[in-house]
Amino acid sequence: MTETNPPPYVVVGATSPIARAYAADCAAAGKPLLLVGRDLAELELIAADLRVRHRAQVAVERYDASLPGEGRRLARTLAVRPPAAVVAFHGIMGGRDEFAAMLQVNCASIAELFESVADQAAQDGGEPVLVAVSSVAGDRGRQSNYPYGASKAALDAYLSGLRNRLHPLGLRVVTVKPGFVRTKLTEGKVNPRSPLLAEPAQVAADIRRAIEGSADVVYTRWFWRPIMAIIRAIPESVFKRLKL
Ligand SMILES: NC(=O)c1ccc[n+]([C@@H]2O[C@H](COP(=O)([O-])OP(=O)(O)OC[C@H]3O[C@@H](n4cnc5c(N)ncnc54)[C@H](OP(=O)(O)O)[C@@H]3O)[C@@H](O)[C@H]2O)c1
Protein backbone atom coordinates (compact mmCIF):
# COMPACT_ATOMS: atom_id res chain seq x y z
CA MET A 1 0.00 0.00 0.00
CA THR A 2 1.57 3.33 -1.06
CA GLU A 3 1.26 6.77 0.58
CA THR A 4 -1.08 7.83 -2.23
CA ASN A 5 -3.41 4.86 -1.66
CA PRO A 6 -3.71 4.53 2.13
CA PRO A 7 -5.98 1.82 3.59
CA PRO A 8 -9.57 2.90 4.27
CA TYR A 9 -11.39 3.26 7.56
CA VAL A 10 -14.55 1.17 7.41
CA VAL A 11 -17.50 2.67 9.29
CA VAL A 12 -20.30 0.12 9.74
CA GLY A 13 -23.69 1.54 10.73
CA ALA A 14 -22.56 4.84 9.27
CA THR A 15 -25.95 6.56 9.61
CA SER A 16 -25.64 6.59 13.43
CA PRO A 17 -24.90 10.13 14.67
CA ILE A 18 -21.85 8.80 16.53
CA ALA A 19 -20.60 7.10 13.36
CA ARG A 20 -21.22 10.28 11.34
CA ALA A 21 -19.16 12.30 13.81
CA TYR A 22 -16.39 9.68 13.66
CA ALA A 23 -16.47 9.64 9.84
CA ALA A 24 -16.28 13.45 9.79
CA ASP A 25 -13.20 13.30 12.08
CA CYS A 26 -11.55 10.78 9.73
CA ALA A 27 -12.42 12.78 6.63
CA ALA A 28 -11.04 15.98 8.19
CA ALA A 29 -7.79 14.10 8.89
CA GLY A 30 -7.58 13.03 5.22
CA LYS A 31 -8.35 9.36 5.84
CA PRO A 32 -10.20 7.46 3.11
CA LEU A 33 -13.54 6.03 4.20
CA LEU A 34 -15.90 3.21 3.35
CA LEU A 35 -19.35 3.94 4.79
CA VAL A 36 -21.40 0.79 5.33
CA GLY A 37 -25.07 0.36 6.20
CA ARG A 38 -28.50 -0.74 5.04
CA ASP A 39 -29.78 2.68 3.85
CA LEU A 40 -27.75 3.26 0.69
CA ALA A 41 -29.49 6.54 -0.19
CA GLU A 42 -28.65 8.03 3.23
CA LEU A 43 -25.07 6.75 3.00
CA GLU A 44 -24.69 8.46 -0.40
CA LEU A 45 -25.88 11.74 1.13
CA ILE A 46 -23.39 11.47 4.00
CA ALA A 47 -20.60 10.55 1.57
CA ALA A 48 -21.40 13.48 -0.74
CA ASP A 49 -21.31 15.88 2.21
CA LEU A 50 -17.91 14.56 3.38
CA ARG A 51 -16.47 14.79 -0.16
CA VAL A 52 -17.56 18.44 -0.46
CA ARG A 53 -16.56 19.51 3.06
CA HIS A 54 -13.24 17.67 3.34
CA ARG A 55 -12.34 16.62 -0.25
CA ALA A 56 -12.40 13.16 1.30
CA GLN A 57 -12.17 9.86 -0.55
CA VAL A 58 -15.46 8.16 0.45
CA ALA A 59 -17.13 5.02 -0.90
CA VAL A 60 -20.33 3.35 0.28
CA GLU A 61 -21.42 -0.28 0.62
CA ARG A 62 -24.77 -1.87 1.47
CA TYR A 63 -24.86 -4.21 4.51
CA ASP A 64 -27.73 -5.57 6.58
CA ALA A 65 -26.60 -6.93 9.96
CA SER A 66 -29.86 -8.79 10.50
CA LEU A 67 -28.95 -11.26 7.73
CA PRO A 68 -26.48 -14.07 8.48
CA GLY A 69 -23.87 -14.25 5.70
CA GLU A 70 -23.67 -10.47 5.21
CA GLY A 71 -20.50 -10.21 7.34
CA ARG A 72 -18.65 -12.76 5.22
CA ARG A 73 -19.81 -11.00 2.04
CA LEU A 74 -18.69 -7.60 3.37
CA ALA A 75 -15.29 -9.05 4.38
CA ARG A 76 -14.78 -10.35 0.82
CA THR A 77 -15.48 -6.84 -0.48
CA LEU A 78 -12.99 -5.36 1.99
CA ALA A 79 -10.29 -7.82 0.90
CA VAL A 80 -9.90 -5.90 -2.36
CA ARG A 81 -8.41 -2.99 -0.39
CA PRO A 82 -7.47 -4.19 3.13
CA PRO A 83 -8.68 -1.68 5.74
CA ALA A 84 -6.79 0.24 8.44
CA ALA A 85 -9.72 -0.19 10.81
CA VAL A 86 -13.21 -1.66 10.84
CA VAL A 87 -15.46 0.16 13.31
CA ALA A 88 -18.86 -1.42 13.99
CA PHE A 89 -21.34 1.17 15.24
CA HIS A 90 -24.52 -0.64 14.27
CA GLY A 91 -26.90 -1.71 16.99
CA ILE A 92 -30.55 -1.91 17.97
CA MET A 93 -32.30 -1.56 21.31
CA GLY A 94 -35.55 -3.40 21.95
CA GLY A 95 -37.44 -5.26 24.63
CA ARG A 96 -37.98 -8.88 25.62
CA ASP A 97 -39.66 -9.74 22.28
CA GLU A 98 -36.64 -8.58 20.29
CA PHE A 99 -33.97 -10.54 22.11
CA ALA A 100 -33.09 -12.81 19.15
CA ALA A 101 -32.91 -9.84 16.77
CA MET A 102 -30.62 -7.98 19.19
CA LEU A 103 -28.33 -10.98 19.60
CA GLN A 104 -28.03 -11.13 15.80
CA VAL A 105 -27.49 -7.41 15.10
CA ASN A 106 -25.59 -6.43 18.27
CA CYS A 107 -23.35 -9.49 18.57
CA ALA A 108 -23.54 -12.32 16.00
CA SER A 109 -23.25 -10.01 12.98
CA ILE A 110 -20.11 -8.40 14.42
CA ALA A 111 -18.60 -11.79 15.24
CA GLU A 112 -19.21 -13.00 11.69
CA LEU A 113 -17.68 -9.86 10.19
CA PHE A 114 -14.64 -9.72 12.51
CA GLU A 115 -13.85 -13.44 12.16
CA SER A 116 -13.89 -13.08 8.36
CA VAL A 117 -11.80 -9.86 8.40
CA ALA A 118 -9.28 -11.44 10.82
CA ASP A 119 -8.99 -14.57 8.63
CA GLN A 120 -8.45 -12.36 5.59
CA ALA A 121 -5.79 -10.31 7.43
CA ALA A 122 -3.95 -13.50 8.35
CA GLN A 123 -3.78 -14.29 4.62
CA ASP A 124 -2.89 -10.87 3.20
CA GLY A 125 -0.75 -9.60 6.09
CA GLY A 126 -3.07 -6.66 6.81
CA GLU A 127 -3.31 -5.21 10.33
CA PRO A 128 -6.82 -3.82 10.69
CA VAL A 129 -7.86 -2.51 14.10
CA LEU A 130 -11.22 -4.14 14.90
CA VAL A 131 -13.47 -1.85 16.92
CA ALA A 132 -17.03 -2.46 18.12
CA VAL A 133 -19.36 -0.11 19.94
CA SER A 134 -20.85 -1.98 22.87
CA SER A 135 -22.51 -0.28 25.87
CA VAL A 136 -22.22 0.17 29.62
CA ALA A 137 -25.56 -1.71 29.61
CA GLY A 138 -23.51 -4.88 29.05
CA ASP A 139 -21.75 -4.48 32.41
CA ARG A 140 -24.77 -5.50 34.47
CA GLY A 141 -28.32 -6.52 33.62
CA ARG A 142 -30.93 -4.02 34.86
CA GLN A 143 -34.70 -4.54 34.79
CA SER A 144 -35.18 -1.53 32.48
CA ASN A 145 -33.13 -2.93 29.55
CA TYR A 146 -31.63 -6.32 30.32
CA PRO A 147 -32.35 -7.96 26.91
CA TYR A 148 -30.34 -5.17 25.22
CA GLY A 149 -27.75 -5.35 28.00
CA ALA A 150 -27.43 -9.11 27.55
CA SER A 151 -26.77 -8.72 23.81
CA LYS A 152 -24.01 -6.19 24.58
CA ALA A 153 -22.60 -8.43 27.34
CA ALA A 154 -22.37 -11.23 24.75
CA LEU A 155 -20.53 -8.80 22.46
CA ASP A 156 -18.12 -7.84 25.28
CA ALA A 157 -17.27 -11.48 26.00
CA TYR A 158 -16.83 -12.17 22.28
CA LEU A 159 -14.48 -9.18 21.82
CA SER A 160 -12.45 -10.17 24.88
CA GLY A 161 -11.90 -13.67 23.47
CA LEU A 162 -11.12 -12.37 19.98
CA ARG A 163 -8.59 -9.89 21.47
CA ASN A 164 -6.95 -12.76 23.34
CA ARG A 165 -6.79 -14.87 20.14
CA LEU A 166 -5.49 -12.11 17.89
CA HIS A 167 -2.95 -10.53 20.25
CA PRO A 168 -0.12 -12.95 19.29
CA LEU A 169 -0.81 -12.07 15.63
CA GLY A 170 -0.37 -8.36 16.33
CA LEU A 171 -4.02 -7.46 15.65
CA ARG A 172 -5.85 -5.09 18.00
CA VAL A 173 -9.46 -5.38 19.14
CA VAL A 174 -11.08 -2.38 20.85
CA THR A 175 -14.30 -2.46 22.88
CA VAL A 176 -16.06 0.90 23.16
CA LYS A 177 -18.55 1.31 25.99
CA PRO A 178 -20.59 4.49 25.77
CA GLY A 179 -22.95 5.58 28.54
CA PHE A 180 -25.77 7.91 27.44
CA VAL A 181 -25.27 9.63 24.08
CA ARG A 182 -27.62 12.18 22.49
CA THR A 183 -29.08 10.08 19.63
CA LYS A 184 -32.52 8.68 18.78
CA LEU A 185 -31.69 5.65 20.97
CA THR A 186 -31.91 7.84 24.11
CA GLU A 187 -34.63 10.23 22.88
CA GLY A 188 -37.42 10.37 25.48
CA LYS A 189 -35.52 8.00 27.79
CA VAL A 190 -32.81 10.31 29.19
CA ASN A 191 -33.28 13.88 30.45
CA PRO A 192 -31.83 15.99 27.59
CA ARG A 193 -30.17 18.25 30.19
CA SER A 194 -28.53 15.38 32.11
CA PRO A 195 -24.81 16.02 32.71
CA LEU A 196 -24.29 12.31 31.95
CA LEU A 197 -25.53 12.75 28.37
CA ALA A 198 -22.59 12.98 25.92
CA GLU A 199 -22.65 14.52 22.46
CA PRO A 200 -21.91 12.17 19.52
CA ALA A 201 -18.81 14.24 18.67
CA GLN A 202 -17.35 13.69 22.17
CA VAL A 203 -17.83 9.93 21.87
CA ALA A 204 -16.39 9.95 18.33
CA ALA A 205 -13.29 11.78 19.60
CA ASP A 206 -12.83 9.18 22.36
CA ILE A 207 -13.10 6.41 19.74
CA ARG A 208 -10.52 8.12 17.49
CA ARG A 209 -8.10 8.45 20.42
CA ALA A 210 -8.65 4.80 21.36
CA ILE A 211 -7.86 3.63 17.83
CA GLU A 212 -4.75 5.82 17.63
CA GLY A 213 -3.61 4.74 21.11
CA SER A 214 -3.32 1.34 22.75
CA ALA A 215 -6.58 0.98 24.69
CA ASP A 216 -8.42 -2.36 24.81
CA VAL A 217 -11.65 -1.26 26.52
CA VAL A 218 -12.77 2.37 26.44
CA TYR A 219 -15.54 3.90 28.52
CA THR A 220 -16.95 7.07 26.99
CA ARG A 221 -17.29 9.53 28.54
CA TRP A 222 -14.51 8.52 30.92
CA PHE A 223 -16.64 8.87 34.09
CA TRP A 224 -18.63 5.74 33.17
CA ARG A 225 -15.66 3.57 34.13
CA PRO A 226 -15.87 4.44 37.88
CA ILE A 227 -19.69 4.58 37.78
CA MET A 228 -19.88 1.07 36.32
CA ALA A 229 -17.21 -0.21 38.72
CA ILE A 230 -19.54 0.81 41.57
CA ILE A 231 -22.62 -0.68 39.85
CA ARG A 232 -20.79 -3.98 39.28
CA ALA A 233 -19.60 -4.07 42.90
CA ILE A 234 -23.14 -3.99 44.38
CA PRO A 235 -23.91 -7.47 45.77
CA GLU A 236 -26.62 -9.35 43.84
CA SER A 237 -28.68 -9.68 47.05
CA VAL A 238 -28.90 -5.85 47.15
CA PHE A 239 -28.98 -5.27 43.39
CA LYS A 240 -32.12 -7.39 42.88
CA ARG A 241 -34.07 -4.98 45.12
CA LEU A 242 -33.06 -1.81 43.25
CA LYS A 243 -35.26 -0.06 40.68
CA LEU A 244 -32.74 0.45 37.88
N1 LIG B 1 -27.11 6.42 22.20
C2 LIG B 1 -26.65 5.87 23.31
O3 LIG B 1 -26.88 6.38 24.43
C4 LIG B 1 -25.79 4.63 23.26
C5 LIG B 1 -25.24 4.18 24.46
C6 LIG B 1 -24.45 3.04 24.45
C7 LIG B 1 -24.21 2.38 23.27
N8 LIG B 1 -24.77 2.83 22.12
C9 LIG B 1 -24.49 2.08 20.90
O10 LIG B 1 -23.97 2.98 19.93
C11 LIG B 1 -24.23 2.45 18.62
C12 LIG B 1 -24.83 3.55 17.77
O13 LIG B 1 -26.11 3.87 18.30
P14 LIG B 1 -26.83 5.28 18.19
O15 LIG B 1 -27.12 5.75 19.55
O16 LIG B 1 -26.08 6.17 17.25
O17 LIG B 1 -28.23 4.82 17.57
P18 LIG B 1 -28.87 4.94 16.14
O19 LIG B 1 -28.90 6.35 15.68
O20 LIG B 1 -30.16 4.19 16.25
O21 LIG B 1 -27.84 4.15 15.20
C22 LIG B 1 -27.91 2.76 15.07
C23 LIG B 1 -27.17 2.38 13.79
O24 LIG B 1 -27.28 0.97 13.61
C25 LIG B 1 -27.71 0.73 12.27
N26 LIG B 1 -28.43 -0.53 12.15
C27 LIG B 1 -29.47 -0.98 12.89
N28 LIG B 1 -29.88 -2.16 12.42
C29 LIG B 1 -29.06 -2.47 11.38
C30 LIG B 1 -28.98 -3.55 10.48
N31 LIG B 1 -29.84 -4.60 10.53
N32 LIG B 1 -28.02 -3.54 9.52
C33 LIG B 1 -27.15 -2.51 9.44
N34 LIG B 1 -27.19 -1.44 10.25
C35 LIG B 1 -28.14 -1.43 11.21
C36 LIG B 1 -28.62 1.90 11.98
O37 LIG B 1 -28.86 1.99 10.57
P38 LIG B 1 -30.24 2.63 10.00
O39 LIG B 1 -29.98 4.10 9.88
O40 LIG B 1 -30.38 1.96 8.68
O41 LIG B 1 -31.33 2.31 10.98
C42 LIG B 1 -27.76 3.03 12.53
O43 LIG B 1 -26.72 3.33 11.64
C44 LIG B 1 -25.15 1.24 18.83
O45 LIG B 1 -24.39 0.06 18.79
C46 LIG B 1 -25.70 1.45 20.23
O47 LIG B 1 -26.08 0.24 20.84
C48 LIG B 1 -25.55 3.94 22.09
Question: pLDDT at position 5, please?
Answer: 79
Neighbours of 35 (CB within 10 A): 27
What are the C-alpha distances in Å from 126 to residues 84, 107, 122, 129, 135? 8, 24, 7, 10, 28
- Which domains can be identified in the chain, with CATH numbers? 9-239 (3.40.50.720)
Question: pLDDT at position 60, please?
Answer: 98
How many A from CA of 236 to the centre of ligand 1?
A: 30
- Ligand 1 probe mutation, 18, 20, 202, most atoms within 8 A of CB: 18
- In short, whether 138's Cβ falls inside 6 Å of ligand 1 is no
Distance (Å, whole) CA 82 – CA 71: 15
Mean pLDDT of the chain: 96
Question: pLDDT at position 4, please?
Answer: 60
The residue whose CA has the least distance to atom 30 of ligand 1 is 65
For residues 4 and 13, the answer to whether their CB atoms sit within 8 Å is no
- Ligand 1 probe mutation, 74, 87, 89, most atoms within 8 A of CB: 89
Question: pLDDT at position 3, please?
Answer: 45
The residue whose CA has the least distance to atom 16 of ligand 1 is 16
Distance (Å, whole) CA 232 – CA 153: 13
For residues 175 and 159, the answer to whether their CB atoms sit within 8 Å is yes
Mean pLDDT by 10 residues, the chain (244 residues): 74 98 97 98 98 97 98 97 97 97 98 98 95 98 96 98 97 98 93 96 98 97 98 98 94
Distance (Å, whole) CA 189 – CA 214: 33
- In short, whether 91's Cβ falls inside 6 Å of ligand 1 is yes
The residue whose CA has the least distance to atom 11 of ligand 1 is 89
Question: pLDDT at position 186, please?
Answer: 92
Show the DSSP H helices in the chain as ranges: 17-28, 40-54, 70-78, 99-103, 109-124, 146-166, 200-212, 224-233, 236-239
Distance of CA 69 to the CA centre of its chain: 19
How many A from CA of 237 to the centre of ligand 1?
A: 33
How many A from CA of 13 to the centre of ligand 1?
A: 6
DSSP state of 181: B
- In short, whether 104's Cβ falls inside 6 Å of ligand 1 is no
